[in-house]
């Protein structure tokens, strides 16, 4: 097929030269084409085509504009017939050095490829075969746009040979996409989105150069990518994975989300340790980590359990340290983290630390990130982060942190992302629909989609899905995509991607699937299949059917048998917004209750953050004393666990929520639990510097304590 494509380009190029010179052949047939091959190597041979017997040729200068266009259209129609016969294997192109294309009507040149590449079978008697049958969709669409018929609109047809040549060249340079054998193309009737990265060449080049600077000079770089949700920030960062692999670098991703749990930064680093192999290089890295941290390895052991596996717990390095204040612990932790990152980032193995969706990070995480990005102990590390800049409330804490970094003379490379360039929207739609990019109708569709979606790639993909769902874009019986351009242009959609996705989900999903989407949106950007099954109750719905539905519509992806994650945080937000505001609290409380009841007791500690995050969002609906005690006890447990990883903001949130659940009446009903929550809240609030809340908690203790010993901490923290 590729050799036939080379012949097709030669014929088309020759015809284009005639048209450029102001001449139309007016009668183009197989008898009038002579092929000549040059060069010895079959793969490198060049084919040239000559046209003979031009007795019917006409000169444009002697024709009216209308007649000249009709003469070109006639040439293109005949070119389409010739290429259709050529691609279907009905013309020999390989035998002689010089030959007429009409010689030897049937060829055995593609005999070995006919089944796979052309899928061409002789027509049954009495059944007329349509031109282009059995060809890859891309080539079939090209033939149709050249030949046309009485019903074809002008926008569906080529109007010059130059565009035909360009589309043939696209097929030649990208055969894996454009020349998919029909036998392997049966599923094209369902819309399959390409994962190819489009555009952003300047931004990719900037990040790649920054990575090279880090690798060669060793000086850490900080780059921040900002833009609207769905602009492709994470996809841009992924483009440096290949150049990072080429220099033996390591990629660590820290993903924050709407329901970010405490210590997500530590969890990502702990996962990195878990993946270190036991080969010579891995053992060398482990030894370097141990030597760098020294006795401070015990400081991070609670937050990063895998680090404790690197040494013997009876070792002096793991000996219990003297009790120190929470603030000092926090400083120790940040210092240990700097040493840890410094030990894994080397000239031989530079590191990219990717802080994804930083706008969801809590204050403690932002504080730690600021410290490690300015640390003199770290070299050969590229700090990459992205956040939404179109939401002031979400962006403000991130931008304050960035100002703090710059105030310490650390330069920041800022990479703002706007809409995708329209040429790349064209390329994406052309490749997705397997349509030649220079078809007028394809360009018009791409223009309409780009205008509607604002050039946001996430929006573009979901809009294309919706067009299929509404029948405005469909795969017809001729195995080509067709679309109703007028209806697409008239569609009224929101310019906010989250609102658009919300309405699409509500309209598309059956009630039972929509419930699953809502529950999943409450669980975070990534969640285990076990957690989802415990949290949801979709009677009559098979999990595999639900997964097929959400994956088929681009909402959720199943990473493996045990984990699922949202395709984008904007998709998660949209699903969350489908929940009625009057039912948000009750749904969260219901999910939290299900997780508590359905989680085995031995797994409660591991899942306590999941349980408490859900229950706390509906704590106002907790009514019975037993339920209040259970909720408060879970918050105490979660707060203590957060404190052990020095996530003080999260810990303070859990302790304070536990206090709110109990209320003042529980000083008499459950004194010990109420006092413990207050004492722990004092400690966490002091660590984060929330003096106002700390005074309120201290006043509660002093007003309700039954002995002086229980008042001591309140007095101490007030004095500080």
Q: 554-586, pLDDT tens digit by residue?
A: 888 888 888 898 888 888 889 999 999 999 999
Are the folds of 2-188 and 201-417 the same?
A: no
CATH level 3 topology of 2-188: Transferase(Phosphotransferase); domain 1 (1.10.510)
In three-state secondary structure terms, 453 is helix
Predicted confidence at residue 586, as pLDDT, reads 94
Whether 694 contacts 662, CB under 8 Å: no
Average of pLDDT values for 583-602? 93
Predicted confidence at residue 492, as pLDDT, reads 83
Q: Which two tokens stand for residue 296?
A: 């401070």
pLDDT exceeds cutoff 70 at 602: yes
Which is more confident, 353 or 504?
353
Predicted confidence at residue 446, as pLDDT, reads 93
pTM for the whole structure: 0.72
- Reported confidence tier of residue 91, pLDDT bands at 50, 70, 90: low
pLDDT exceeds cutoff 90 at 413: yes
- Reported confidence tier of residue 509, pLDDT bands at 50, 70, 90: low
Distance CA 160, CA 243 (A): 41
User: Rounded to the nearest 5°, which phi and psi values hold at 311?
Assistant: -135, 165
Lowest-confidence pick of 30-39, 270-279, 416-425, 482-491: 30-39
Give the start-to-end residue ranges of the domains of the chain.
2-188, 201-417, 422-493, 617-720
- Reported confidence tier of residue 314, pLDDT bands at 50, 70, 90: very low
pLDDT tens, residue by residue, 3-26: 788 888 999 999 999 999 999 998
Distance CA 589, CA 465 (A): 33
pLDDT exceeds cutoff 90 at 491: no
Predicted confidence at residue 543, as pLDDT, reads 81
User: pLDDT > 90: what percent of the chain?
Assistant: 32
User: Rounded to the nearest 5°, which phi and psi values hold at 327?
Assistant: -65, -45
Give the ranges where 578-670 is alpha helix by DSSP (H): 584-598, 604-616, 625-644, 648-662, 666-669
Predicted confidence at residue 441, as pLDDT, reads 86
- Reported confidence tier of residue 598, pLDDT bands at 50, 70, 90: very high
Whether 634 contacts 628, CB under 8 Å: no
Predicted confidence at residue 304, as pLDDT, reads 78
- Reported confidence tier of residue 402, pLDDT bands at 50, 70, 90: very high
pLDDT tens, residue by residue, 510-522: 667 888 899 999 9
Whether 334 contacts 687, CB under 8 Å: no
- 201-417 classified as CATH 3.60.70.12: no
Predicted confidence at residue 3, as pLDDT, reads 79
Lowest-confidence pick of 41-45, 277-281, 400-404: 41-45
Average of pLDDT values for 460-472? 88
- Reported confidence tier of residue 31, pLDDT bands at 50, 70, 90: confident
Distance CA 441, CA 439 (A): 5
CA atoms within 13 A on the CB side of 85: 18
Average of pLDDT values for 624-629? 91
CA distances (Å), 256 to each of 150, 356, 720, in order? 57, 6, 34
- Reported confidence tier of residue 114, pLDDT bands at 50, 70, 90: very low
Average of pLDDT values for 223-244? 91
In three-state secondary structure terms, 355 is strand
Closest by Cα among 282, 341, 292 to 317: 292
- Reported confidence tier of residue 152, pLDDT bands at 50, 70, 90: low
Q: What is the 3-state secondary structure (H, E, C) of 694-716?
A: HHHHHHHHHHHCCCHHHHHHHHH
Give the ranges where 294-362 is alpha helix by DSSP (H): 297-301, 305-308, 326-344
Lowest-confidence pick of 149-163, 420-434, 690-704: 149-163
pLDDT exceeds cutoff 50 at 331: yes
Predicted confidence at residue 150, as pLDDT, reads 52
Task: For residue 115, give the DSSP letter.
Answer: I
Predicted confidence at residue 107, as pLDDT, reads 40
pLDDT exceeds cutoff 80 at 61: yes
Lowest-confidence pick of 306-315, 368-377, 426-435, 690-699: 306-315
Predicted confidence at residue 526, as pLDDT, reads 86
Whether 115 contacts 183, CB under 8 Å: yes
Average of pLDDT values for 194-200? 83
- Reported confidence tier of residue 416, pLDDT bands at 50, 70, 90: very high
Predicted confidence at residue 110, as pLDDT, reads 39
pLDDT exceeds cutoff 50 at 121: no
Average of pLDDT values for 447-466? 89
Lowest-confidence pick of 9-13, 280-284, 382-386: 280-284
pLDDT exceeds cutoff 50 at 720: yes
- Reported confidence tier of residue 39, pLDDT bands at 50, 70, 90: low
pLDDT exceeds cutoff 80 at 213: yes
pLDDT exceeds cutoff 90 at 593: yes
For the chain, give the mean pLDDT. Answer: 82
Q: Which two tokens stand for residue 383?
A: 């700090």
Predicted confidence at residue 210, as pLDDT, reads 94
User: pLDDT > 70: what percent of the chain?
Assistant: 85
């Amino acid at each position: 097929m590729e050799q036939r494509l080379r012949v097709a380009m030669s014929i088309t190029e020759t015809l284009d030269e005639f048209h450029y010179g102001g001449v139309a052949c007016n009668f183009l047939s197989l008898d009038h084409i002579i092929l000549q091959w040059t060069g010895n190597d079959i793969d490198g041979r060049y084919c040239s085509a000559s046209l003979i017997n031009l007795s019917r040729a006409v000169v444009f200068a002697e024709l009216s504009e209308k007649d000249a266009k009709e003469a070109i259209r006639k040439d293109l129609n005949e070119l389409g017939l010739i290429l259709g016969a050529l691609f279907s294997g009905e013309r020999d192109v390989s035998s002689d050095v010089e030959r007429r294309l009409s010689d030897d009507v049937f060829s055995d040149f593609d005999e070995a490829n006919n089944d796979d590449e052309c899928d061409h079978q002789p027509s049954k008697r009495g059944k007329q075969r349509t031109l282009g049958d059995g060809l890859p969709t891309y080539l079939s669409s090209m033939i149709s746009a050249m030949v046309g018929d009485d019903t074809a609109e002008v926008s569906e047809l080529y109007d010059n040979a130059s565009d035909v040549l360009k589309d043939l060249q696209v097929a030649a340079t990208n055969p894996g996409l454009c020349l998919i054998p029909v036998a392997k193309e049966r599923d094209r009737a369902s819309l399959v989105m390409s994962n190819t990265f489009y555009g952003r060449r300047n931004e990719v080049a900037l990040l790649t150069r920054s990575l090279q600077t880090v690798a060669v000079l060793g000086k850490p770089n900080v780059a921040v990518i900002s833009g609207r949700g769905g602009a492709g920030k994470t996809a841009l960062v992924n483009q440096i994975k290949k150049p990072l692999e080429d220099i033996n670098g390591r990629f660590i991703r820290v993903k924050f989300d709407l329901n970010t749990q405490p210590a997500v930064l530590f969890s990502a680093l702990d996962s990195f340790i878990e993946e270190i192999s036991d080969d010579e290089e891995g053992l060398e890295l482990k030894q370097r980590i141990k030597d760098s941290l020294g006795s401070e390895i015990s400081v991070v052991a609670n937050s990063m359990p895998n680090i404790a596996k690197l040494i013997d717990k009876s070792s002096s390095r793991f000996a219990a340290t003297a009790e120190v204040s929470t603030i000092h612990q926090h400083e120790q932790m940040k210092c240990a983290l700097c040493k840890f990152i410094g030990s894994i980032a080397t000239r031989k193995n530079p590191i990219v630390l990717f802080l994804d969706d930083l706008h969801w990070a809590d204050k403690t995480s932002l504080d730690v990130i600021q410290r490690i990005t300015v640390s003199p102990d770290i070299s050969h590390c590229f700090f990459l982060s992205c956040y939404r800049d179109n939401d002031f409330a979400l962006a403000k804490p991130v931008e304050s942190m960035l100002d703090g970094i710059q105030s310490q003379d650390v330069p920041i490379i800022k990479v703002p992302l706007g809409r995708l360039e329209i040429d790349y929207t064209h390329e994406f739609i052309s490749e997705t629909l397997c349509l030649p990019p220079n078809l007028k109708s394809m360009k018009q569709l791409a223009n309409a989609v780009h205008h509607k979606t604002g050039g946001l790639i996430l929006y573009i993909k979901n809009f294309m899905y919706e067009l299929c769902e509404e029948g405005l874009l469909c795969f017809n019986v001729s195995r080509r995509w067709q679309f109703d351009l007028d209806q697409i242009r008239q569609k009224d959609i929101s310019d906010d991607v989250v609102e658009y996705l919300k309405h699409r989900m509500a309209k598309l999903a059956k009630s039972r699937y929509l419930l699953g989407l809502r529950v999943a949106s409450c669980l975070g950007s990534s969640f285990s299949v076990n957690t989802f099954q415990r949290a949801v109750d979709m009677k009559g719905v098979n999990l595999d059917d639900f997964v097929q539905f959400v994956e088929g519509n681009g909402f959720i992806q199943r990473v493996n048998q045990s984990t699922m994650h949202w395709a984008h945080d904007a998709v998660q937000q949209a699903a969350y917004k489908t929940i009625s505001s009057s039912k948000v609290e009750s749904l969260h409380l219901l999910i939290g209750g299900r997780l508590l009841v359905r989680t085995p007791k031995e797994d409660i500690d591991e899942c306590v953050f999941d349980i408490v995050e859900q229950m706390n969002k509906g704590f106002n609906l907790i009514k019975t004393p037993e339920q209040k005690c259970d909720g408060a006890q879970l918050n105490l447990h979660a707060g203590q666990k957060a404190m052990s990883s020095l996530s003080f903001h999260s810990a303070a949130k859990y302790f304070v929520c536990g206090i709110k659940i109990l209320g003042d009446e529980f000083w008499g009903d459950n004194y010990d639990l109420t006092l413990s929550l207050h004492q722990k809240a004092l400690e966490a609030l002091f660590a984060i510097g929330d003096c106002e809340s700390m005074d309120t908690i201290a006043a509660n203790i002093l007003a309700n304590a039954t002995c002086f010993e229980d008042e001591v901490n309140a007095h101490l923290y007030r004095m500080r």
